Structure 1
C-alpha cells in the first residue's frame, strides 16, 4: 500500500520521517507513562496508562481508515495461488540482486544482535549507574530520530545501497568500540553508532525491498523479503 501511495523518490524520507516520528512519540509516551505511574496510586495508574494506549490505537486506526489506495484496473500477474507460489521460487532462482540483498539482510541481523547486551555489559563491566543507563537510552532514541530523517533523505538522493553500507559500518564501529572502550563514557558513542545502524538496516532496508520487481511482482518480493529475514531476526538474539 505504501508503494502505491508514496512516490518512489520519496519513500526514503517517508520511512525516515515515520521512524523519527515514532521515536519522538516513544519519548513522549515514556515521559507521560512515568508521570502517571508516579502521581497516581495503583492500580489506577496502570489502568490510565492502558486507556491512553487504547485511545492512541483508536486514533491510529481512524487515520488508517481514511487512507485511500489508488484504484488499479490492471489484472494481477498471478491467475492462481499455485502460480503465485511458483513465482516465489522463480524470483529466488533468477533474481540474483534480490537473492544477494536477502542474504545481506539476514547477515545484518547479527550486526544488530549486540544492542540489548551493550547496556548489561556497561553495567557489569564498568559499573554504569541508573542515570547513565537512562541517558544512553534517550540518546539512542534521539539518534534514531535524527538518523531517520537524514538517512531517509540520503537514500532518496543517492540510493538505499549506500545507506545500508553506512549502517553496516556504523554497527561494526559500535561493536569494535564496545570491545575497546576503556570506560563507560565511550558507550555513548556506541549507542549513537548502533542507532544509526538500526535505522539503516531496518527502515531503509524496507524501502529497498520496494525497489525490486514491477507493481504486480512487488507483493511477492515483499513477502519473500520479510519471511526470509524473520528466522535470522529471531535467532540473532538467541545466538547472542
Structure 2
C-alpha cells in the first residue's frame, strides 16, 4: 500500500486530515506503506479483515466506529477475505482496557471541587424546598383565616338583612298609619265640626291608631305620637293640616292622663 492509498483508506474511515498526515508519516517511518515518488495510485484493496482492524486500531479509530467501517468495506469489495477475527479480539480488548478512567492529581482535585459544589447546591435546593414548604403552610393558614372571616361576614350580612327587613316592615306600618290618620283627618274635615269635636275622656285609647298593642303604656303611646309629629312636621316637608290633626290628638291624650 502506498501513501495515496493510505490517505484514501484513512479518509474513508472518517479520520481527520491532520491525523491522516501524522499517521501516514508514521507508517512511512515504520515501513508499513511505501512511497511511489509522486506516482498516484488510488483504490486500496486489503487482504483480509484482520489487516483492516489492525490499520484502524493503529490509526486510533475506536471499535464502535471501526467495526461498521470494516463491514462496509467488505460489502464494497475493498477487503478480499474475512479472517478468523484475532485482531478483532485485540481491537476490542484495547477499547475495554482504555475505557478505565485514570485521573491525574489535578483532575482528582477538580473532581473533589465539583463534588463539593454539587453538595452545596443540593443543600441550597433543600433549603429552598423547606422555605417553599413553610411558605405553603403560611398561605394555607392565611387562607383558613380568610375563610373564617368570610363566614363571619356572611353571618353579619344575614343579620343586617334581617334587621333591614324588620325596619322596612316598621316603616311600612308607620306609613300605613299615617295614611290612615290622613284619611280620618280628611273625613273629619268634611263633616260637621261640632260632631267631630273630640271630647277629652279618661277612657280615650289611641293605641289602635298608633298601631300599638293593648299592653303599651303611656310612654310608648307618647313616643308613637312624637314619631308621627316629627314625620309630619311642616319644617321637614310634612303636611301642615295633618300635623295639626295629630298634634290635636296628641294633646287630647295628654289631657286624658291628668
When normalised by structure 2's length, the TM-score is 0.18
When normalised by structure 1's length, the TM-score is 0.19
Greater helix percent: which structure? 1
Pick 1 or 2: higher relative contact order, CA cutoff 8 A, min separation 6. 1
